[in-house]
Amino acid sequence: MTEILYSLPLWYAKVTAMLIFLGMLIVAWLLPYNFVVQGAPDKKRWRDLRLWATLLTIVQLFIYYIF
Amino acid sequence: MWEFTQTSVHWIDIVLIVSYLAGITVFGFYYKSHVKTAKDYFLANRSLPWWVIGLSIIGTNIGSNDYIGAAGNAYSIGIAQANFEWIGAIPAMILSALVFIPFFWRAGVYSIPEYLGLRYNNAVRFIAACVMSVFAVVIVGVFLWATAIMLQTYLGWPIWFSILVTATVVGFYTISGGLGAVAITDTVQAFIMFFTAIIVAFIGIEKIGGFDMFIKILQNNYPDHLHSFLPANHPVFPWPGVILGLGIVLSPAYWCANQAILQRTFAAKSEWDGKASMMFAACLKTFVPFLIVMPGLLALTLAGKSITHQDQALPWVIKHILPAGISGLMFVAFIAALQSSIDSTMNSTSVMIVRDIINVAKKTKLTDRAQLRLGKLFTFIILIVGIAFAPITAYFQGIYVYVQYALSLFQGPIFALMLFGILDKRITPSAGLFSMISGLAVAAVLGWLQFNMLYIAFLSFVYSAIALYIVSLLTKRKPEAELKNVVYSNVVEID
């Protein structure tokens, strides 16, 4: 088990990290709109927290692509 | 022991530091009048907006151990240290904002153990509160010691004098103002930290000869310091451990189940404010490496490998790079980081001791007045015990690693209970109790066998998850009616 892990190249790590971010984004968009905006004082577009999650994920994918 | 060492600190720096400490103390005195009930003290009367909570979360999250320890690790391993802020935080913060916080807010709980009590039973609540409280007191000691080292190096103050000054200032506004004072001071402190970080990065890069030169030195002399991940056989941060232990267990456990972090989201003025606060904190988190990793890289490019101990990287930057005024500001940011972590830890721990330990042990609910008085008393006691514990920290090498190691011993089992408890109504109270106790034992055995802390977190989480499902097959479920607003499938229906 340890030998298999040691033999994996570093780019596996980057890809895995990026997949985790993408997975979290999918989870966010699977949540119903009403659940995400529950309690918001108005229905403005920016209150949809799934959009915030999308922006965050794009930035992180860029960071892990570079480094 | 009480001897003051002569240092070359500029008077502007001293004025800045003293003004900041005095300002925070005056604010604590002013905020005292806002606290009349236990709900005011523990939850700021559920009045906080999302942006205050978001900044406050970052203030609490960045502690003195981050400033010293993360800068030290960045000096030693490079940008891979930023994983604690990126893959080791942001996915978990999104999960916390969108999946966990809505349940906590709707359930109206004051603490994570209280939620576990609603989902499982009071035994789980009691044990979780005890484990978290012990760790929190240790953390207070670590924070105080880290500050004392800094004050000694920079201002020449004796260790015990430094500990007492910081403890007095933090203790004053935390005990008198409760969570409201904590959240607002944390917000101010987070502003100071970001503002200072930008200036430090600018001055440091200018001193090196510009951003291109900074990158060129790193690329030519320390190319490994520009990789986000370290090899799988790295002794401290192997990448599979970082992904499995940090990314999948430790980080979600911290962001979805850490009382000091989440308590202010319970104090949000609406459910949306609670969720948005964590998403806002995640946006800020993207830039946190500029605060705590950059000083380590600046020290590396300017001093090379001449710094003998990695935890001396940040003090070196303050002493050798920053001009008068800016070094004082950096020092204020450092003190702010300490205070914003210690105040939250003390306030949140007092909640658990009063409501989840004393209340549960007594079996009769304390009056509001008694909770308020005990809350203030235990905040004071936590501070005193933290002061007593502080010198023990000196026996451990690398403050950051030590804190993470302690966390890895209990966060796996607690996170398994939180995650599967929220998602699956088939998990039973008996399974929760068994998995928590045996999961903590498994983590302790793995620690005794000297497993890497990241693997301890992952393996104890996996064990607890399996145990939860096996024991749930053999034991009785909680009635559906008691799980309303506590389990996912029972919450979505109300929308």
Domain ranges of chain A: 2-66
Which residues of chain B have a CB within 8 Å of the CB of A56?
90, 94, 279, 282-283, 286
Which residues of chain B have a CB within 8 Å of the CB of A36?
98, 275
**Cα of B12 vs its chain's centroid, Å:** 31
pLDDT of residue B108: 87
A22 class by beta-carbon count within 10 Å (0-12 exposed, 13-18 middle, 19+ buried): middle
pLDDT of residue B495: 41
Hey, which residues does B268 pair with through a beta bridge? B48
What 3-state DSSP class applies to B299?
helix
Separation in Å, CA of A29 to nearest CA in chain B: 10
CB contact under 8 A, B229 and A10: yes
pLDDT of residue B64: 60
pTM of the model: 0.85
> CB-based contact (8 Å) between A58 and chain B?
no
Among B229, B270, B279, beta carbon nearest to A53: B279
> CB-based contact (8 Å) between A1 and chain B?
no
Question: What CA–CA distance (Å, rounded) separates B237 from B235?
Answer: 6
pLDDT of residue B40: 84
> CB-based contact (8 Å) between A27 and chain B?
yes
Compute the Cα dihedral for B463, B465, B466, B472 and give only its sign: positive
Give pLDDT < 50 ranges for chain B: 492-495
Which residues of chain B have a CB within 8 Å of the CB of A24?
91, 94-95
pLDDT, tens digit (0-9, with 9 covering 90-100), for B25-36: 787 777 777 778
Q: Which chain A residue's Cα is nearest to B105?
A: A39
Separation in Å, CA of A36 to nearest CA in chain B: 7
Among A12, A27, A35, beta carbon nearest to B492: A35
Read off the DSSP letter of residue B398.
-
Q: Which chain A residue's Cα is nearest to B280?
A: A52
Angle at B134 between CA B341 and CA B441, to 5 degrees: 125
Question: What CA–CA distance (Å, rounded) separates A33 from B212?
Answer: 45
Question: What CA–CA distance (Å, rounded) separates B51 from B268?
Answer: 10
pLDDT of residue B7: 60
Which residues of chain A have a CB within 8 Å of the CB of B99?
27, 31
ipTM higher than the 0.90 cut = yes
- Are residues B278 and B95 in contact, defined by beta-carbon separation less than 8 angstroms? no
Which residues of chain B have a CB within 8 Å of the CB of A12?
239
CB contact under 8 A, B276 and A52: yes
- Are residues B4 and B158 in contact, defined by beta-carbon separation less than 8 angstroms? yes
Identify from B98, B227, B256 which residue to disrupt to test chain A contact, counting A C-beta atoms within 10 A and taking the largest count: B98
CB contact under 8 A, B276 and A34: no
Question: What CA–CA distance (Å, rounded) separates B132 from B127?
Answer: 9
In chain A, the N- to C-terminal Cα span, in Å, equals: 27
CB contact under 8 A, A20 and B495: no
Separation in Å, CA of A5 to nearest CA in chain B: 6
pLDDT of residue B421: 93
> CB-based contact (8 Å) between A67 and chain B?
yes
Question: What CA–CA distance (Å, rounded) separates B151 from B17?
Answer: 11
Q: Which chain B residue's Cα is nearest to A42?
A: B272
CB contact under 8 A, A24 and B272: no
Which residues of chain A have a CB within 8 Å of the CB of B228?
13-14, 17, 63-64, 67
pLDDT of residue B8: 63
pLDDT, tens digit (0-9, with 9 covering 90-100), for B448-479: 888 877 788 889 999 999 999 999 999 999 98
CB contact under 8 A, A35 and B229: no
pLDDT, tens digit (0-9, with 9 covering 90-100), for A18-59: 999 999 999 999 999 999 999 999 989 999 999 999 999 999
> CB-based contact (8 Å) between A56 and chain B?
yes
Q: Which domains does chain B have, with CATH numbers?
A: 11-407 (1.20.1730.10)
CB atoms inside a 10 Å sphere around CB B177 = 27
CB contact under 8 A, A37 and B90: no
